[in-house]
A = this chain, B = another copy of it.
């Protein structure tokens, strides 16, 4: 993420002598964008405002990231590596995979940084079809495909969709609608409520 080469494919190559400064500027833009998107949502955040916060010319954001939507997706990428998360779910007895998945999901959602990006992705996906498409591509690549590959079951893609439906709905009801009593459950109570659902979606008969 900090490497200039990971910026959008439309950007011109940069001389290596400029890299430290460019890398710092890029990080400053990402910080400003993260705050703006978190505070105001996708729709109400403008590149002009992000550029002003970061103290850079707006054209530089286009140069680094290509578009507002691509900047958003870069900002909202999960702050963890799927290859570090997935073994915590997939390794071990399949009879207990639902509880392990619930533990990992709840631990991630109780981290304000991860939860903030999850809520940001949901907000954006709900706002317009183009953002929904990019969010779907991001979560498919970063989360759903690694999990489905690790499951190794014929209908793994559907199972992963069902798991996602329960987790996305939990985020919506607990953290966005803040409906009680679900918003008041402890992590342990939440894990107990989710584990059997995820167990069935992951490895038990679903049709």
Contact = CB atoms under 8 A, between A and B. Distances in A.
A93 interface: no
A35 B192 CA distance: 42
Interface stretch (A21-29, A47-55, A57-65, A120-128): A120-128
Interface stretch (A79-87, A104-112, A166-174): A166-174
B158 A165 contact: no
B172 A122 contact: yes
Per assembly, the copies of the chain total 2
A132 B169 contact: no
Nearest to A198: B197
A189 B41 CA distance: 35
Interface residues of A, number: 44
A202 to B, nearest CB: 13
Contacts of A178: 132, 136
Nearest to A126: B126
Report whether over half of chain A's contact residues are helix, strand or loop; otherwise say mixed: helix
A168 to B, nearest CB: 4
A58 B43 CA distance: 24
Interface string A178-207: 111110010001001100110010000011
A193 B180 CA distance: 26
Given A127-B41, A127-B127, A128-B41, A161 B176 contact: no
- 4 pairs of A and B residues whose beta carbons are closest in the complex: A169-B169, A161-B182, A165-B169, A126-B126
Given A122-B172, A126-B127, A161-B182, 20 more contacts: A41-B43, A41-B126, A43-B44, A123-B126, A123-B127, A126-B172, A126-B176, A127-B127, A132-B176, A132-B178, A135-B177, A157-B180, A157-B181, A161-B179, A161-B180, A165-B169, A166-B197, A168-B168, A169-B169, A193-B207
